[in-house]
């Protein structure tokens, strides 16, 4: 489509998106009532499935054994990072600053361990129950046996990804024994392709953008009724896997003695690519924790797909290419030109707003996080830090000593050491300019 000038008249901030100027977009529909397609019951159904699979995960992935097969990340207070942030900004951050360290999630080292792994588990459960006597009350560790691996080998799982979703789906699906195929766009890092191949996954590479690759993968999967396609642009199972984070974070807030009420707001900053993972997490947070936890999405100025879709109300019917953007960013997990079919619709009343940022900024934050807290994240996972200043500038009420700010670090632990070092040095050079 060609951009309609009347669209720009109705939504003047599109001009800033076109010029790649960082913006803060405040959602005019935030907090209104809405009929949501999911409920708390759907979240707790997902929680129960994770619990059934915990014995399997503890056996198949020894790194999860110390958590008894629970895949969860720590909530880390960032005292030193907050101090550094305040040294660099005129508008000081008054409240507490935390990191939700999904960069440390087991198996794939990213937020995609939530939704991606969950959808594989759900498919494995269905195949097992359709073809064996597996019962809900069984110890699911039995699924690691040769009997089940032979069964799963008759089925396939396919997914399209710029990187992290591929890792989570690919590693777990191949471990079950599924024939696993990952379709990757030109944004995908070589090390992620290498890791997948080392785990027995078939990697199909395409020199095109993510949205085009999803279409290719979807069409290929349709050719075989035994192949389950994990659709990052609209999967309900992915969405609900992410939503379980609301249940987990509620407990962590309690452990850290963090109040959440009208006088003690919590703001969560989530990087957004196709928008599925931050939307699922936000839905879970709002359903489980309530109205006083607020979500802000963060996107590169070259790829503000969810912001553009929600701002115009066109959601997945408009892409960043339609307004002349190139969709290129160093934040590979965020290089998605067209948003999820679910993201904008479900977030219409649940998302406080969104921020766009320039790539150089995330490298600076990535380096500062390492310098102050000795925490390594990949570039896209530092995106949440870019939203703090615009948020407290535009919504001063959230910059109080009673407020808590949580940056959601979406990935990084599986990065090769040389990649980590290169990113760190790039940020260091930018900070020294």
Domains along the sequence of the chain with CATH: 5-38+71-108+243-431 (3.40.50.1100), 41-65+111-238 (3.40.50.1100)
The pTM assigned to this predicted structure is 0.97
State the burial class of residue 135 (Cβ atoms within 10 Å of its Cβ: 0-12, 13-18, 19+): exposed
Task: Average the pLDDT over 379-393 and give the result.
Answer: 98
The confidence score (pLDDT) of residue 433 equals: 86
pLDDT band at 49 (very low <50, low <70, confident <90, very high): very high
Question: Could you tell me the CA-to-CA distances from 95 to 78, 223, 260, 337 in Å, in that order?
Answer: 11, 53, 13, 34
Residue 5 has pLDDT above 90, yes or no: no
Percent above pLDDT 90 for the chain? 96
Separation CA 328–CA 334 (nearest Å): 9
Task: Average the pLDDT over 282-293 and give the result.
Answer: 98
Task: Average the pLDDT over 374-391 and give the result.
Answer: 98
For the segment 63-113, what is each residue's pLDDT rounded down to a tens digit? 999 999 999 999 999 999 999 999 999 999 999 999 999 999 999 999 999
Task: Average the pLDDT over 421-432 and give the result.
Answer: 97
Task: Average the pLDDT over 260-277 and give the result.
Answer: 97
Task: Average the pLDDT over 381-390 and give the result.
Answer: 98
Residue 1 has pLDDT above 70, yes or no: no
Residue 292 has pLDDT above 70, yes or no: yes
The confidence score (pLDDT) of residue 431 equals: 97
The confidence score (pLDDT) of residue 151 equals: 98
Task: Average the pLDDT over 279-301 and give the result.
Answer: 98
The confidence score (pLDDT) of residue 226 equals: 97
The confidence score (pLDDT) of residue 163 equals: 84
For the segment 327-338, what is each residue's pLDDT rounded down to a tens digit? 999 998 899 999
Percent above pLDDT 70 for the chain? 100
């Amino acid at each position: 489509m060609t951009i309609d000038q009347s669209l720009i008249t109705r939504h003047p901030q599109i001009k800033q998106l076109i010029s790649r100027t960082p913006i803060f977009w405040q959602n005019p529909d935030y907090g209104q009532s809405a009929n949501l397609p999911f409920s708390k019951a759907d979240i707790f159904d997902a929680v129960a499935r994770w619990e059934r699979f915990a014995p399997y995960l503890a056996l198949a992935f020894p790194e999860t054994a110390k958590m008894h097969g629970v895949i969860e990340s720590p909530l880390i207070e960032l005292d030193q990072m907050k101090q550094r942030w305040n040294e660099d900004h005129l508008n000081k951050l008054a409240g507490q600053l935390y990191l939700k360290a999904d960069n440390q999630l087991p198996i794939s080292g990213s937020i995609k361990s939530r939704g991606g792994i969950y959808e594989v588990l759900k498919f494995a459960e269905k195949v097992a129950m359709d073809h064996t006597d597996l019962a809900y009350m069984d110890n699911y560790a039995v699924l690691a046996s040769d009997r089940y691996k032979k069964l799963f080998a008759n089925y396939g799982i396919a997914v399209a990804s710029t990187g992290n979703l591929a890792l989570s789906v690919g590693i777990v699906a191949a471990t079950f024994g599924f024939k696993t195929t990952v379709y990757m766009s030109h944004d995908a890092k070589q090390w992620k392709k290498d890791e997948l191949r080392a785990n027995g996954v078939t990697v199909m590479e395409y020199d095109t953008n993510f949205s085009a690759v999803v279409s290719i993968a979807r069409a290929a999967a349709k050719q075989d009724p035994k192949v389950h396609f994990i659709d990052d642009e609209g999967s309900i199972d992915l969405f609900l896997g992410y939503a379980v984070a609301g249940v987990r974070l509620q407990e962590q807030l309690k452990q850290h003695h963090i109040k959440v009420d009208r006088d003690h707001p919590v703001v969560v900053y989530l990087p957004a690519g196709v928008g599925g993972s931050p939307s699922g997490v936000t839905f879970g947070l709002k359903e489980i924790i309530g109205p006083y936890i607020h979500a802000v999405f963060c996107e590169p100025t070259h790829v503000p797909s969810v912001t553009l879709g929600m701002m115009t109300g066109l959601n997945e019917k408009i892409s960043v290419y339609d307004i002349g953007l190139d969709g290129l960013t160093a934040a590979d997990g965020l290089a998605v030109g067209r948003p999820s079919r679910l993201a904008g619709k479900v977030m219409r009343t649940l998302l406080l707003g969104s921020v766009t940022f320039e790539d150089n900024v995330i490298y600076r934050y990535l380096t500062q996080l390492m310098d102050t807290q000795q925490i390594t994240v990949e570039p896209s996972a530092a995106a949440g830090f870019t939203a703090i200043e615009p948020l407290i500038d535009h919504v001063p009420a959230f910059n109080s000593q009673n407020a808590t700010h949580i940056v959601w670090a979406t990935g990084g632990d599986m990065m090769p050491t040389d990649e980590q070092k290169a990113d760190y040095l790039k940020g260091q050079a930018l900070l020294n300019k």
